[in-house]
A = this chain, B = another copy of it.
Amino acid sequence: MFYSKENLRFLLEDVFNAESLCRFDYFKDHTAENFWMMVEAAETLSVEHLRPILLEMDRNPPHIENSRIKVHPKMLELMKMFGSDGWISMSAPNKFGGQQAPFTIMQSCAFIMAAANYSTMAFPFLTTGAAHLIEAFGSETLQQQFIPKMYAGEWQGTMALTEPQAGSSLSDITTTAKPTEHGHYLIKGQKVFISCGDHDACDNIIHLMLARIEGAPAGTKGISLFVVPRMRQQADGSLAFNDVNTAGVFHKMGYHGAPIAHLIMGEKNDCHGWLIGEAHKGLNYMFQMMNEARIGVGLQATAISSAAYYAALEYAQTRLQGRKPTEKDPHQPQVPIIDHADVKRLLLFQKAVVEGSLALGLQATMYFDQWHVTEGDEKEENYLKLELLTPIVKSYPAEMSILSTSAALQCFGGYGFTKEYLAELFFRETRIHTLHEGTTAIHGMDLLGRKVMVKNGKAAMLLMQEISADIHNAKQHDALKLNAAKLENNLQELQQVTFHLMGVAQAKGAEVFLADATLYLELFGIVAVAWQWLKMGTKAHEVVASKKYAASFLSSKTHAMNYYFEYELPKTAALAQRLKSDNFSTTAVNSDEIV
Contacts and interface: CB of A to CB of B under 8 A. Distances in A.
B252 A594 contact: no
Given A342-B517, A514-B341, A574-B570, A417 B440 contact: no
Given A167-B413, A252-B418, 5 more contacts: A172-B334, A324-B511, A341-B515, A552-B593, A572-B574
19 contacts: A167-B321, A168-B321, A171-B330, A172-B322, A172-B330, A218-B330, A219-B330, A253-B418, A341-B511, A341-B515, A344-B594, A347-B594, A348-B589, A409-B431, A553-B595, A559-B594, A563-B584, A570-B573, A571-B574
B417 A427 contact: no
B577 A570 contact: yes
Nearest to A220: B330
A122 to B, nearest CB: 14
A432 B322 CA distance: 21
A54 interface: no
A418, A434, A439, A518: most-surrounded residue (chain B CB, <10 A)? A418
A555 B345 CA distance: 40
A222 B171 CA distance: 70
A30 to B, nearest CB: 29
Interface stretch (A108-116, A373-381, A441-449, A463-471): A441-449
A413 to B, nearest CB: 5
Contacts of A591: 317, 336, 338-339, 344
A70 B342 CA distance: 38
Contacts of A587: 341, 344
A436 interface: yes
Contact of A445 (B325, B431, B434): B325
Contact of A555 (B4, B553, B563, B593): B593
A498 B578 CA distance: 26
Contact of A218 (B331, B510, B571, B595): B331
Interface of A: 4, 6, 162, 165-169, 171-172, 192-193, 218-220, 250-255, 313, 317, 320-326, 330-331, 334, 336, 338-345, 347-348, 351, 402, 406, 409-410, 413-414, 416-420, 424, 427-428, 431-432, 434-436, 439-441, 444-445, 449, 482, 509-511, 514-519, 552-553, 555-556, 559, 562-563, 565-567, 570-574, 577-578, 581, 583-587, 589, 591-595
Nearest to A167: B413
Given A321-B169, A402-B406, A594-B313, A419 B340 contact: no
Contact of A344 (B419, B563, B589): B589
A518 B594 contact: no
Nearest to A61: B419
A566 B584 contact: yes
In the complex, the count of this chain's copies comes to: 2
B552 A518 contact: no
Contacts of A165: 320, 334
A435 B410 CA distance: 7
A445 B336 CA distance: 18
A323 B321 CA distance: 54
Contacts of A348: 586, 589, 594
Given A345-B516, A431-B417, A587-B341, A593 B556 contact: yes
A17 B591 CA distance: 30
Given A431-B417, A432-B417, A552 B341 contact: no
A193 B417 CA distance: 11
A326 B436 CA distance: 25
Nearest to A218: B330
A191 to B, nearest CB: 12
Contacts of A562: 583-584
A586 B330 contact: no
A270 to B, nearest CB: 29
A4, A336, A445, A559: most-surrounded residue (chain B CB, <10 A)? A559
Given A342-B444, A419-B252, A439 B413 contact: yes
B510 A325 contact: yes
A253 B510 CA distance: 42
A424 B253 contact: yes
What 6 pairs across the A-B complex have the smallest Cβ distances? A219-B330, A570-B574, A341-B515, A169-B322, A342-B441, A344-B586
B172 A419 contact: no
A592 to B, nearest CB: 6
Given A167-B321, A330-B171, A414 B441 contact: no
Contacts of A589: 344, 348, 559
Contact of A578 (B340, B414, B434, B566): B566
Contacts of A586: 341-342, 344-345, 348, 563
A461 B563 CA distance: 33
Nearest to A402: B406
A220, A253, A592, A595: most-surrounded residue (chain B CB, <10 A)? A595
Contacts of A441: 340, 342-343
Nearest to A171: B330
A477 B17 CA distance: 62
A514 B566 CA distance: 17
Contact of A4 (B255, B509, B595): B595
Nearest to A553: B595
Contacts of A511: 324-326, 341
A516 B340 CA distance: 11
A339, A435, A586: most-surrounded residue (chain B CB, <10 A)? A586
A300 to B, nearest CB: 14
